[in-house]
Amino acid sequence: MKEHRLPTIEINKFPLPQAVQQVMKDASERLAHRPKLRQLFQNCFPNTLETTTKLLDDGTTFVLTGDIPAMWLRDSVEQVIHYVPFAKEDAELRRILEGLIRRHMFYIQIDPYANAFNESANDWHWNAADETDSSPWVWERKFELDSMCFSFRLAYLYWKETGRTGIFDEVFRTSLLKMLNVWQIEQEHKEQSTYRFQRHNGIMIDTLRKNGLGMPVNNVGLIWSGFRPSDDACDFHFNIPSNMFAAVTLRQLQEIAQYVYRDSNLVARMSAMEEEIRHAIELYGIIDHSKYGKMYAFETDGFGNHLLMDDAGTPSLMSAPYLGYCAPDDPIYLNTRKFALSEDNPYFFKGEKLSGIGSPHTSTGFVWHLAYTMQGLTTVDPQEMLEMIEICESTDAGTGFMHEGFDVNDSTQFTREWFAWSNSQFAQLVWKALESGILP
């Protein structure tokens, strides 16, 4: 991340939920023969709850990203997603997760275009000089299509795991409708949207061109996004991984509309939008590569221009099965995966001993732990999963935690010593390997 003078937030300490303690106990016993991996898991699995989670007096939950005193919609979900499978029988964990879902819905009603929010209306901002229609609640107002997808992903997965429907109140429904309205507007961005964003700091990936409007797109049914999940500006504003995520989100929300709200009109509206997005992805988001065959592009403008790359963050092309867009053995996905893990991907970096995916968000030659753990979570090859765990285990730079990016030739050179999302995703991968019997 960019260097920035940041205020701080005091996190209230609370006992770890019993379900979390039990997972840590089980993992400690099962990893007794691998002391370093055991210690990494013991550090990373509870890290979000121990260092970034604040229970607020109104019953909601605030989860800061770690070293930045704001809550990203995306990050906060992935920071807690590994706890969801253990929530059904643990009231303390349910209070934390339901509180976070309610906090997300509150924020979406304040501003569905923002990506990160403050704990209170304290008027803190990443850059107070941003030219955009902000508010004292908003830390940063970069419209990233994936942000609200994560909010509803958490609610859906929590519902499927616990069966609890109390979160689907009128605030939730209103937030859902607000999201749908924004997405419908952003399918015709130039004609309908009032969203603009400019940041005059000399870093072009931090701002939108054309006076904050962004580069031109052709209205083909995809949803416009100003910025990528990395918080960097899109080159072509139809980000394919984010549109994949939107399609999955619409499919999941149809279940809630059908079985909880019993609203056939809402189901039909979301079904039509989902079909339109999926159709457009197949028409405009797939290219026929001379080396890899049919594969997904990272971005397109709907005019026939494409950006071929993949990024370490989620959603990425690599993460498509993780999000639920396709099966991990889907032929087009496998072709895309081969591209992403090759030097044809401009953000795949190869070192003397390691190679992996980085991001334009960090320096050239820096690879990300998030990319390795996502590669492990989406592979169909048990050996590849083990290899990803071993790479992470050997590149913690002696800190006992995961990081953002690190030099592919020197893991002691890294960004973000305190990056809770990366810790959570690593713990998720290790637990998956244990539960599937892949990790001996």
pLDDT at 4 over 90: no
pLDDT at 192: 98
pLDDT at 10: 84
pLDDT at 296 over 90: yes
Question: Minimal CA–CA distance to 84: which of 13, 18, 162, 163?
Answer: 162
d(CA 398, CA 392): 11
d(CA 57, CA 345): 47
pLDDT at 127 over 90: yes
Averaged pLDDT, 272-284: 98
pLDDT at 6 over 80: no
pLDDT at 408 over 60: yes
d(CA 260, CA 262): 6
pLDDT at 9: 85
| Residue showing tokens 């501003």 | 111
Question: Minimal CA–CA distance to 318: which of 295, 300, 302?
Answer: 295
pLDDT at 5 over 60: no
Average pLDDT, the chain: 96
pLDDT at 169: 97
pLDDT at 8: 80
Over the stretch 213-266, which tens digit does the pLDDT of each residue have? 999 999 999 999 999 999 999 999 999 999 999 999 999 999 999 999 999 999
pLDDT at 437 over 50: yes
Sign of CA pseudo-dihedral 316, 321, 325, 327: positive
pLDDT at 438: 96
CA 289 to chain centre: 27
Averaged pLDDT, 32-50: 98
d(CA 246, CA 7): 33
Sign of CA pseudo-dihedral 347, 375, 81, 328: positive
pLDDT at 153 over 80: yes
pLDDT at 1 over 80: no
Sequence-distant (≥ 6) Cβ neighbours of residue 129 within 8 angstroms = 199, 200
pLDDT at 2: 38
264-284 vs 170-186: helix crossing angle, rounded to 10? 40
d(CA 230, CA 312): 8
Q: Tell me how far apart the terminal alpha carbons of the chain are, to the nearest angstrom.
A: 36
Over the stretch 324-346, which tens digit does the pLDDT of each residue have? 999 999 999 999 999 999 999 99
pLDDT at 49 over 50: yes
Over the stretch 351-378, which tens digit does the pLDDT of each residue have? 999 999 999 999 999 999 999 999 999 9
pLDDT at 3 over 50: no
pLDDT at 31 over 90: yes
Contacts 24+ apart (CB under 8 A), 164-170: 164/94, 164/98, 165/260, 166/98, 167/98, 167/101, 167/102, 168/256, 168/260, 168/261
Domains annotated for the chain, with CATH where assigned, are 18-434 (1.50.10.10)
pLDDT at 178: 98
